[in-house]
Structure 1
């Protein structure tokens, strides 16, 4: 009985969604309400999960439960607006619709190389500035490194299914790829609420990093039709692992996060420079 009632409820949402599409309302275009609900749920769920982690034995260096907030938000949007969610998530896992674009495979490789470049620029500049090339040997971490790698990939994908696989495509219906990427990057950065308990320059550098990385991933996704979750999750994982091993930006010092932000900005400018001119328009 409950299942039948639930199915009827979801069906009514689907009918309402189709009606709004036909009438051309803003909500029907699958942007305003779904995006707003996604962001709200992602923030609330992350806060609840972050508080819950304190009562578990899971080390934060392995995985942070807050990373599953965006995934839960995707589930809520998919429940309320199934058609909109299906369309936005097309190509997130597996191959998406439409013919493959020229050079799409190379873009995926370039995205992962960019993650390594960000880490290399950050760590190299930090070493030159301080005279101490910081490196944490994987064997000295509190958990097996293989476990950390797998958990970091899972956590990164739990974030990217929301930020780049749902919210980015939703915003792309209203604006161009560059503007959509900047908005997603700002929202993604603001979602890391504890960062704003740091000094203003620290928070600004962190936002610079999230916006820049969002631009890189957003422009890369313009050239691929499928496997978007694996590509962005891989990029996110490589950056997180690189910071874990080579940087100490979470200690609160300004220099590491500032250098990280500048490294992200430089790579984003490179992607913008190499992108087609259409990214500058809607």
Structure 2
């Protein structure tokens, strides 16, 4: 029966069912995040340690697996079709990109304000040794939905960059609380989510399974931890969020440029030489 369901699911996706899956997944991610956010105060889990809303996308993936088990398993394993571009980047490069985003944020903030808003780890209300692994787990709860399920799903229809931009917009809109802030704050946040999604989409193209989740979750957690220690963007202040958005945009531009540079040598060699290179 699994094969029959997969064939039906494949025909539905060819008829445009991909967008139906996107709508259902996103709606479930919204609802699940709202429910988890509502129950968090009763659990006693501090939001500084981990926000339960981050597991909304993971629950949406679980719901998708109940309906299309085989297709969901294929997406999570990375079966999104052949990679048309160069080989994917390593995790160390992706984690370095996260550090570069934070460094650019700090530099930009310092240029404008003449100071660095550093929060020493020991001054946090909860042990930093607890916050770090909790942030990684929470980030993976998000990324299993956005980068391990939705990105491969859309990549097969739109290609890497367009899929990354689409996922970034949905990811940003999913953080509905930012739209209660000033328009420039929300704009800076949306720029950040789209730009980070592009960085992740390029870096993870061709990476599947647990490595994809670990790389995406690690990048996400490093950015979150950097913001926790060096910026006060959660206060609603516009400047740090604009610094964040522009920093992400700069790193995304670098990623796109490097992707183009890595693709050019393969195109110059031609198909035969490229196939030999990938063997």
TM-score band (shorter)? 0.7 to 0.9
- Specify the alignment match of 2:275 in structure 1: none
Note if 1:164 corresponds to 2:147: yes
Q: Does structure 2 conserve the Cα–Cα contact (< 8 Å) formed by 1:29 and 1:173?
A: no
**1:86 equivalenced with 2:70 (yes/no):** no
Q: Which has the higher helix share?
A: 2
CA displacement at 1:98 relative to structure 2: 8.8
Distance change >3 Å, CA 225–CA 67, structure 1 → 2? closer
Task: Give how far 1:132 is off.
Answer: 1.6
What residue in structure 2 maps to residue 41 of structure 1?
Answer: 28
After superposition, residues 43-82 of structure 1 pair within 5 angstroms as 43-82=30-69
Displacement after TM superposition at 1:31 (Å): 1.8
Inter-partner Cα distance in structure 2 for 1:265 and 1:158 = 24
2:274 aligned residue: none
Do structure 1's residue 130 and structure 2's residue 95 form an aligned pair?
Answer: no
Report the secondary structure of 2:226's partner residue.
Answer: helix
Q: 1:97: Cα distance to partner?
A: 10
Alignment partner of 1:209 is 2:192: yes
What whole-Å deviation, never above 9, does each CA across 1:154-176 have from its counterpart, x for those lacking one?
Answer: 00000000000000000012111
Unaligned stretches of 5+ in structure 1? 1-10
Partner Cα separation in structure 2 for residue 81 and residue 271 of structure 1: 33
CA contact (8 A) 1:20 1:28 kept: no
2:124 maps to 1:141: yes
Confirm whether residue 19 of structure 1 aligns to residue 5 of structure 2: no
Rate the CA distance shift 1:267–1:150 in 2: closer, same or farther, 3 A.
same
Residue 56 (structure 1) shift:
2.5
Structure 1 residues 173 and 103 mapped into 2: Cα distance closer, same or farther (>3 Å)?
closer
- TM-score of the two chains, using structure 1 as the length reference: 0.86
CA gap 1:44/1:215 in 2 versus in 1, 3 angstroms: same
User: What do the CA deviations read for 1:35-62 (whole angstroms, capped 9, x no partner)?
Assistant: 2221111000001111111223211110
For structure 2, the residue ranges without an aligned partner over 5 or more in a row are: 265-279
* 8 A Cα contact 1:185 1:214, kept in partner: yes
What is the CA–CA distance in structure 1 between the aligned matches of 2:32 and 2:136, rounded to whole Å? 20
Report the TM-score when normalising by structure 2.
Answer: 0.87
In 1, are the aligned partners of 2:5 and 2:68 still within 8 Å (CA)? no
Aligned position for 1:111: 94
State the aligned residue count: 261
2:157 partner SS: coil
